[in-house]
A and B are shown apart, each in its own frame.
Chain A
Amino acid sequence: MRGWRGSSAFVLCVVLGSCTQGSQATLAHSAESITSLASEGAVLGRNLVAGRVTRRFAIQHGLDLQGLMSDQMAVLDEMTAPPGERSQVEALRAITHRAASDLRRLTETGADQATLATDLERAATAAEKVRGSP
């Protein structure tokens, strides 16, 4: 019985802990995810320019990446950050917006994919910096 109580208390702590996570953790997670998505978009763009992936794959995979980027945008839009973190949230929002737009353009015919890949790489670096800033 005592063991069950202990286990229940542990599970409760875990659940409560996960519910009361701070905005800093959410921000860090968003920044990590945006870094990853932008970086993958850059790899996709470079591969497309080099002819290493089919155009159909690039379009579909690019749209999937853009969808995930939009999810991150929604997370940031809903986030109520304390005053100390607002500038970071704003910076990340701008990066996400730009990266989502680059990913969309990457899948369009006639786009300058090499430039877009470079821009996405820059977006990944910028998001990484936000993640690393205090």
Chain B
Amino acid sequence: MSLKNMLAIALGILSAIGGFVDIGDLVFNTQAGATFGFQLIWVVAIGVLGIIVYSEMCGRVSAVSGRPVFDLVRERTGFGAGLATLVASEVVNLMTCAAEIGGVAICLKLLSGLPYRMLIAGAVIALVIASWTLRFQWIERLFGYLGLCLLVFAVAAIKLHPPWAQVVHGLVPGSHEGGSATLYLYFVVGLLGAAMTPYEVYFYSSGAVEDRWGMKELGLNKVTATIGYSLGGVLSVSLMIVAAMLFLPNGISPELLGTPALAAGSTFGRVGLLLALIGILFAVGGAAIETAFSGAYNVAQFFGWPWGKREGPARTPRFTAAWLIIFGLAMMVIMTGIDPVKLTEYSVIFSVVALPLTYLPILLVANDRTYMGSRVNGKLANVLGVGYMGIILLVAVSAIPLMLLTHGGQS
């Protein structure tokens, strides 16, 4: 392997780590750690393996067929099922994008002290300028690399000297202590939803086409998905450990985005606080762009419009209008004053409901020799893919009842 290829892999992995954590992971992992300590680490492990399995499939489909997943969804599943998938994914994308923009504005407010609504408008303008002017690869890199500041939580998790035996025990599913059974199950569903968010696979798949992946990139796809998401999962677990060590003993149930940053400040002082705020700012900022683009990719691919950041706005006017509209609508949603943390919880739970619509077509296409030739799923990918489909169906059915029973995770 040449030095250039190794560098490309390393850069891909770094941006995948920084880009893995979004507002959903921040909210659910810290709340889960503050409520159940280390007992839900196993859910993060299962969720991360799930996103690795399906992202690898998506990347492979794109590399082999030269087409992104959503392009094939309508062709493979028909207009009705394709439209249902499109509507569900657009609603979830919009909610998530609004929550991420709110997250950016909160971080800016904590850093600058300026008025929140003014910062929402400023954040959207900055994100639109970044999306418009930067090349696709640089959008991924800028937000992914600066999102790596979140590694402060991984270092904090080690510095806090957690009882490692209990941390390892948290990898084993089992009975729980503290909190009700329904609340425990609600967090199981939320953590899975946060780890397997649909927009991530759509963005990954379209990104593979934007980066012009071919058969040569199949190895890169496997390595980036496996190592990048695994290390991203380590960040999620770190958030849970830090919350378990600092918030659980004090009876703190995080309701604000500034609370995880406060934990970094408690551990490392002002430098830790600033690193955490910058990391959160770029992680949620990157996720806001990903959700807006993911929404535009889906709608353009469904209706067969020309699409792609690489092509430029003049060649893809409807695709460009789509992501601009998503940013505009998301800004209007968050300007209503809705709490971004609450909106995140709802968007994650609704994304769980939409998970089967996202992942089933991917599984079908990855097994279709018409598109994939000899690169169809192997035995391992199919066993894991079908197993995860079972899990996804189970959590999709239970998500809304659990949200109602626990009043959105409050009791």
Contact = CB atoms under 8 A, between A and B. Distances in A.
A86 interface: no
A2 to B, nearest CB: 16
B375 interface: no
A113 interface: no
Given A29-B410, A124-B251, A64 B256 contact: yes
A47 B266 contact: yes
Nearest to B249: A39
Contacts of B407: 18, 29
Interface string A51-94: 11110110111001100100000000000000000000000000
**Main DSSP-derived SS at the A contact region:** helix
A15 interface: yes
Contacts of B158: none
Interface stretch (B104-112, B128-136, B195-203): B104-112
Interface string B82-117: 000000000000000000000000000111110000
A57 B261 contact: yes
Contacts of B251: 32, 35-36, 39, 124, 128
B273 interface: yes
Contacts of A42: 250
Nearest to B257: A64
B265 interface: yes
Contact of A25 (B256, B274, B411): B411
Contacts of A60: 109-110, 113, 258
Interface string A10-45: 110011011000000100110011011101101110
Interface residues of A, number: 35
A47 B256 CA distance: 17
B404 interface: yes
B411 A29 contact: yes
A35 B410 CA distance: 14
Contact of A61 (B246, B252, B258, B405): B258
A47 B263 CA distance: 10
Contact of A40 (B110, B252, B410): B252
Given A43-B266, A52-B269, A56-B112, A33 B258 contact: no
Q: How large is the interface on B (under 10, 10 to 19, 20 to 34, 35 or more residues)?
A: 20 to 34
B27 to A, nearest CB: 15
Contacts of B252: 36, 39-40, 43
B405 to A, nearest CB: 6
Given A61-B258, A64-B258, A53 B253 contact: no
A39 B272 CA distance: 21
B405 A36 contact: no
Contacts of B411: 25, 28-29, 32
B10 interface: no
Contacts of A64: 256, 258
B112 A40 contact: no
Nearest to A42: B250
B21 to A, nearest CB: 20
Contact of A57 (B110, B250, B400): B110
A43 B256 CA distance: 14
B253 A32 contact: yes
B401 interface: yes
B266 A61 contact: no
Contact of A44 (B255, B262, B269, B270): B262
B259 interface: yes
Interface in B240-292: 246, 250-256, 258-259, 261-262, 265-266, 269-270, 272-274, 277
A43 B258 CA distance: 13
B265 A53 contact: yes
B37 to A, nearest CB: 16
Contacts of A18: 404-405, 407
A60 B256 CA distance: 11
Nearest to B253: A36
A36 B255 contact: yes
Contact of B250 (A17, A28, A39, A52): A39
Interface of A: 10-11, 14-15, 17-18, 25, 28-29, 32-33, 35-37, 39-40, 42-44, 47, 50-54, 56-57, 59-61, 64-65, 68, 124, 128
- The 3 A-B pairs with the shortest beta carbon distances in the complex, nearest first, are A36-B253, A53-B265, A61-B258
Given A25-B411, A124-B250, 13 more contacts: A10-B401, A11-B400, A14-B405, A18-B405, A32-B411, A40-B252, A54-B270, A54-B273, A54-B274, A56-B110, A60-B109, A60-B110, A61-B110
23 contacts: A10-B401, A11-B400, A11-B404, A14-B401, A14-B404, A25-B411, A29-B407, A36-B251, A43-B246, A50-B269, A52-B266, A52-B270, A52-B272, A52-B273, A53-B273, A57-B258, A57-B265, A57-B277, A59-B113, A60-B109, A61-B258, A64-B256, A64-B258
Interface of B: 109-113, 246, 250-256, 258-259, 261-262, 265-266, 269-270, 272-274, 277, 400-401, 404-405, 407, 410-411
